[in-house]
Amino acid sequence: MSAVHAMDVAVTPQPAVATPILEVNGLTKAFRGLTAVNDVSFEVPRGGIVALIGPNGAGKTTTFNLIAGVLRPNGGTVTLEGQGVTGLRPDRICHAGIGRTFQLVKPFGALTVLENVMVGALRADPSVAAATAKSHEILALLELDDKARLMANTLTLPDRKRLEVARALATAPKLLLLDEVMAGLRPTETDRMVAILAQLNRETGLTILLIEHVMRAVMALSQRVVVLNYGEKICDGTPEQVTRDPKVLECYLGEEDEA
C-alpha cells in the first residue's frame, strides 16, 4: 500500500514554475558491473532550488559528475535549456552554463583567494581588470573579501567551502551544482551559507541544484527534493512530501542521527 502511495507522490505533477532549465532523462552509469546511477530522471525549473538527497553511496555525486561532464553516462541524456550537453567535456559544460563545486574542495592552493575567483571570472570576460572587479563583488557577496589577498591554502574549511562557491559563481553559470557545501560547517556557518544562497537565488535568479546531507539547509532552501537510493530515484516532490514519504523514511532510518 505504502509503495503505491509513494509512486503517487513521485508522479504528482508540480505547479509549473517555468520551462525547466535542466532536464535529466534516464541517466545511467555503471562501474564494473555496479550500477551507480540507474535510469534517473528529474527536472530543475528555471530560478528554482532543487536538492538531491539520499544516503551515502546513493549515487548523488555520480549524478553530479555525469551532469558536469566528469563522467560519461552509459545511457540517458542531460539537457540544458533545450540543448543537449550529454557527455561533453567539463570545460564545455561550464561554457554551456553549468558551474559546480567539489565535495572535497579543490582550491588553487598557491594562488590567492582573489586569484582563485578570477580564474572563474575570466571565463566570461578575458580582461583581467574586469575579472578582478567582478571577483571582488563575488567575494564581498560571500563575505570573503577581507581575505582576498590570502593564499587559498591558508583558509579554514568553512572559508574554503565559500571560496569553492565563489569560484563557481564567478563563471557566471545559469545553473549552479553544489556538492555538500554545508558539510563540516557549524550550525551558524550553515545558516550563513543558506542565507547567502537564498539571497543569490532571490536577487539574481540563479538556479541551484544541491547535494546536501544537512537537512535543515535542505528544508530551508529547496522548493523541490529528489531522493536517490542505490542509484535509483525513489521520490521527487516538495520537502513536505518527501519527509512524509515512507520509502524515504525507510532508507534514512539508519542515518537519522547523522541528519
Partner 1 sequence: MTTTAAATAAAPVRLPRGTLLLAGLAALLLMAPLFAGDYLLSVLILICYQAYLGMAWNAMMGFAGQFSLGHALYIGLGGYAAGALFVHFGIPPWIGMLVGAAVATAAGAVVGALGFRFGVKGVYFALLTIAFAEFTRILFDHWDWVGASSGLFLPVAHDQVSLWLLRGPPVMFYYVILGLLIAAFVLSWALLRRRIGYYWQAIREDQDAAETLGIDVFKYKMAAVMLSAAMTAVGGVFYAFYYNNLYPETIFSMHRSIELMLGTIVGGIGTLFGPILGAALLVVLGEVLTLLTEDLGLDGVKQIFYGLCLLIIVLWRPAGIWPWLRTRLGLGT
| DSSP for residue 105 | -
Q: Which stretch binds partner 1 (CB under 8 A): 2-10, 83-91, 201-209, 219-227?
A: 83-91
Q: Which of 17, 30, 111, 183 binds partner 1 (CB under 8 A)?
A: 111
- Core vs surface per residue 211-234: b (16+ CB within 10 A) or e: bbbbbebbbbbbebbbbbbebebb
How far CA 105 is from CA of 66, 156, 181, 227, 232, in Å, comes to: 18, 11, 9, 24, 26
Is residue 160 a contact point for partner 1 (CB under 8 A)?
Answer: no
Distance CA 49, CA 221 (A): 7
Is residue 106 a contact point for partner 1 (CB under 8 A)?
Answer: yes
Min dist CB 95 to partner 1, Å, is: 5
Q: Which stretch binds partner 1 (CB under 8 A): 27-35, 116-124, 214-222, 235-243?
A: 116-124
Residues 6+ apart with CB under 8 A from 233: 10, 40, 41, 42, 226, 227
Residue closer to partner 1 (CB basis): 20 or 107: 107
Is residue 171 a contact point for partner 1 (CB under 8 A)?
Answer: yes
Distance CA 235, CA 166 (A): 31
Residue closer to partner 1 (CB basis): 76 or 107: 107
Q: Which stretch binds partner 1 (CB under 8 A): 25-33, 46-54, 112-120, 217-225?
A: 112-120
User: In terms of DSSP bridges, do strands 224-229 and 207-211 run parallel, antiparallel, or are they unpaired?
Assistant: unpaired
**What does the binding site for partner 1 look like in residue numbers (CB under 8 A)?**
68, 70, 89-91, 94-95, 99-100, 102, 106-112, 115, 118-120, 122-123, 126, 128, 131, 146-147, 149-150, 167-168, 170-171
